[in-house]
Structure 1
C-alpha cells in the first residue's frame, strides 16, 4: 500500500485507509481512484498528487 500527497495543500491519501467520506473504500489503490476525484481539502486533481515514502 502506498501514500500520495497533494502538492497544493499537503493532504495525504493512504491506500490502506482510502477516503470513506468520498466513497473510496479502504484498500483502494491510487490507480483505482476515479479520474474526476479531487482533493477533499483544496479541490486539486489527481495529477497534483505525488507518491511519497513513509
Structure 2
C-alpha cells in the first residue's frame, strides 16, 4: 500500500495543530497584538509632546 501524503486524512503527526491554532489565534494572540499597538500609539504621542514642548 502506497501512502499519499497530499491527502488530508489527519493521519500525520500534526493532525492536532489546526485545533490548537484556533484558540491561540483568536483567544491568546489578540492580547499581545493590542498591547503592542497600544504601546506604539503611546510612543508616538510622547514623541509629539516632546516636539511640541521644544518649540
Same fold (TM over 0.5): no
More helix by share: 2
Q: TM-score, normalised by structure 1?
A: 0.16
Q: Which has the larger radius of gyration?
A: 2
